[in-house]
Amino acid sequence: MADSAVKRVAILSPGLIGGSIGLGLAARTPGLRLTCWARRAESSAAAVALGAAHQVASTPEQAVQGADAVYVCCPVGAVGDLLDRIAPHVGPECVVLDVAGVKAPVPDWSRRLVQGAFVGSHPMAGSERSGIEFARADLYQGATWVFTPLEGDAPWAVSRAVGLAEALGARPLICTVEEHDRWAAALSHLPHLLAYALAQVAQDRVPSAGAHMAGGSYRDGSRVAASSPAAWTEILMANRREAADACTAASVWLAEAAAALTQGDGAALAALLDAAHTGRLEVGPC
Amino acid sequence: MADSAVKRVAILSPGLIGGSIGLGLAARTPGLRLTCWARRAESSAAAVALGAAHQVASTPEQAVQGADAVYVCCPVGAVGDLLDRIAPHVGPECVVLDVAGVKAPVPDWSRRLVQGAFVGSHPMAGSERSGIEFARADLYQGATWVFTPLEGDAPWAVSRAVGLAEALGARPLICTVEEHDRWAAALSHLPHLLAYALAQVAQDRVPSAGAHMAGGSYRDGSRVAASSPAAWTEILMANRREAADACTAASVWLAEAAAALTQGDGAALAALLDAAHTGRLEVGPC
């Protein structure tokens, strides 16, 4: 649970992720003071109107002053610059977290702070929608929240970061930066690439009249192709070595399946499906 | 709606699909008499116990005697033999439907009947589970039910087949055998292949400790990899030319995405994602 030293939390760039952090903390930890800052004034106003923050700061520097915890929720490519801006204003006992889907930059981000402590984190929740209007107080209930502490990170900072996630109902998972990025490539980045691939192949082959033939497998398989291509280009490029590796492996698997089909080799196809089916990871219900 | 001439319906090999037909017709068309036959006596007994049939026939020949409509629900590879068995016993005013996921064999199946009329059909509902214990009276409510009538098929037979689907709450979609198989490859067979590919790549890269990192995109993307590899080998092999074509297209798309990632070419990746995203088919909610 959140430690009692946490009185003030700042949320920078609240969208679906940051807005849901604000809504969840407001609902679950009474007494906490939530300040937000967003590049667009309408977003800050929406955060307060929705109850995801109590007050608006006009600059990120102002937002983090006196904060005990800061969530940096901007896109991955903007985290470094935002950290540079707030670094001189972060107090010595403040923990700063990112929520980006790629953790390779964490050592660099960590070095940018001059006081306080940075902890890399990635809440495994969200949806194909973005924007604070989709934020939900229960978005993290039962979700996994990954933390990638570096050797030498202050134990109090990691503990505080984990405690806040637990206060939001999330289950913490601690791993290394490298593990996170390899696992995320297989479990999040590849499913998105496969969804975009499915959306492309289907639109090339099926006229709109035939779209009514789509059943649950197409809907589920293509769901996240509704995600923002710009946002996903950025996420994938930030983890491009691992994402390319997983993507190539899927491409090769599919080429093997296509070859078995073309050659009429049912035994080879069955062996591919059977191995994939039998060894699939146990992940429980959504 | 089902025409009033339909008094007796036979369901051969009731599993998830046939059992749900029986449950739905029993609930929605009082007065209809439902007879089932299954290769395994326990399945027939389960169909009656669940309310998916009123009586059990000890042979398929006996099941179809006096029937106004017959659903042949066995796996695609067994349809031809079963049709040969029942053909001498099907009455002149009886419609016989298959429910297989591939329609290329429909002209062959149609020729096997000596009386009555065969209509190829494919209800676009189901799940990764199989077996009559998962049958539901509302499985077809709002689902698309595809019919692939051949030139020269008797209008009364097509009309009766469509009417029964409407009685089950399904929306009929009429197309050719070739259209069905091409569309099904993109909208059903490819999503299954992608799910198996994802399940394989993920298990190769993520230990069970990391499986908690799986979020909605992995769960949705891999869901149908829980489907029976044997059943899906049979379905894919029955439509292998179209399935291979869609599978190859997806493999090529993923290889292009992997190349863009490897080369650090964000513009090329963005173009791929954007085209897939922008043109994706409108299919509505599940």
Q: What is the ipTM of this complex?
A: 0.82
Domain range annotation of chain A: 8-175, 179-278
Q: Write down the pTM of the prediction.
A: 0.82
Would you say residue A64 has pLDDT above 60? yes
Indicate the SS3 state at residue A120: coil
Would you say residue A2 has pLDDT above 70? no
The pLDDT of residue A285 is 53
Output the DSSP codes for B16-74: HHHHHHHHHHHHHSTT-EEEEE-SSHHHHHHHHHHTS-SEE-SSHHHHHTT-SEEEE-S
| B31 touching A (Cβ < 8 Å) | no
Would you say residue A118 has pLDDT above 70? yes
pLDDT tens per residue across span B8-17 = 999 999 999 9
The pLDDT of residue B4 is 75
The pLDDT of residue A52 is 96
CA A233, chain centre distance (Å): 14
DSSP label of A245: H
Going by pLDDT thresholds of 50, 70 and 90, the confidence category of residue A284 is: low
pLDDT-above-90 percentage for chain B? 88
pLDDT tens per residue across span B206-235 = 999 899 999 889 999 999 999 999 989 999
The pLDDT of residue A247 is 98
Would you say residue B33 has pLDDT above 80? yes
> Average pLDDT for residues A49-78, to the nearest whole number?
96
Going by pLDDT thresholds of 50, 70 and 90, the confidence category of residue B286 is: very low
Q: Can you name the CATH fold of B8-175?
A: Rossmann fold (3.40.50)
Touching A: B residues 105-134, CB under 8 Å: 124-127
The pLDDT of residue B284 is 63
**What secondary structure, in 3-state letters, does A248-267 show?**
HHHHHHHHHHHHHHHCCCHH
Going by pLDDT thresholds of 50, 70 and 90, the confidence category of residue B128 is: low
Joined together, the tokens standing for residue A248 give: 């190539």
Would you say residue B125 has pLDDT above 90? no
pLDDT tens per residue across span A3-30 = 678 999 999 999 999 999 999 999 999 8
The closest CB to that of B216, out of A210, A266, A286, belongs to A286
DSSP label of A10: E
> Average pLDDT for residues B83-103, to the nearest whole number?
96
pLDDT-above-90 percentage for chain A? 88
| B232 touching A (Cβ < 8 Å) | yes
The closest CB to that of B237, out of A184, A253, A269, belongs to A269
Q: Which residue of A has its CA nearest to B176?
A: A210
Residues of chain A found within 8 Å of residue B236, distances taken between Cβ atoms: 261, 269
Q: Where are the alpha helices (DSSP H) in A99-168?
A: 106-112, 155-167
The pLDDT of residue A216 is 87
pLDDT tens per residue across span A242-263 = 999 999 999 999 999 999 999 9
> Average pLDDT for residues B166-174, to the nearest whole number?
96
Indicate the pairing of strand B144-147 with strand B121-123: antiparallel
The pLDDT of residue A5 is 82
Mean pLDDT score across all residues of chain B: 94
Q: Can you name the CATH fold of B179-278?
A: 6-phosphogluconate dehydrogenase C-terminal fold (1.10.3660)
Among residues A275, A184, A185, A201, the alpha carbon closest in space to that of B196 is found at: A275
pLDDT-above-70 percentage for chain A? 97
Touching A: B residues 78-107, CB under 8 Å: none
| Min distance B92 CA to chain A CA atoms (Å) | 31
Dmax (CA) for chain B in angstroms is 68
